[in-house]
Amino acid sequence: MASVAILVNGLPGSGKTTVSATLAGVLGCPLLAVDPVQEALADLAGPMIAPQAVRRIAVDAVWAMAGEVEAGVVVDAGWRPDDDLDGVRAGVEQAGSPRVLEVWCEVAPELALARSAARVEGGGRHPVHGTADELAAGWADRVEGAGPLGAWPVVRVDTSGEVDVDSLVMEISAHFV
């Protein structure tokens, strides 16, 4: 079971993937990201399973994998407090109730939308996540419910530009000593 879980959270396009991959590399622990699992499952299932169901299955798989990790783990996903807190709590319990810290990737919603739209339009985003039009149509709702889960200590990191990884790691470490 995982002893520590660092949850990297934020809007789509907020820099979660960059932050989580960097943290996992620096800390020497596995990165368990929901998006790649969801994408692989969508490729296997095709259109036979709705994207929302594929995401739920991917989230369950990530928490099951976290439960098999003996040290720390970085978990990357976009969660919303009103929609996902109970599920994340259940996932943390499934992973063996590790000590948890949340990293919130803070960025202006307009910049996050521009980054996300560029990925979709440039072909760098899997179709399971929807089209650019779907992204834009649902953006206001997505932003309205955005924020840290808040059930654990939260470290906020400005991801509008380059992240000071050393400072971020030191701030995270201070929560575990």
Contact, 73 vs 2, CB < 8 A? yes
- Distance between CA atoms of 151 and 165, rounded to whole angstroms? 24
For 9-60, write each residue's pLDDT tens digit: 999 999 999 999 999 999 999 999 999 999 999 999 888 888 889 999 999 9
- Structure confidence by residue, pLDDT tens digits, 137-157: 888 888 998 999 999 999 999
C-alpha 54/C-alpha 130 separation (Å) is: 13
DSSP type of residue 99: E
- The model carries a pTM of 0.92
Which residue ranges form the domains of the chain, and what is each CATH number? 4-160 (3.40.50.300)
Report the chain's mean pLDDT, rounded to a whole number.
Answer: 91
| Res. 97 pLDDT band, cuts 50 70 90 | confident
* pLDDT attached to residue 1: 67
Q: Which residues pair with 105 in a beta bridge?
A: 10, 157
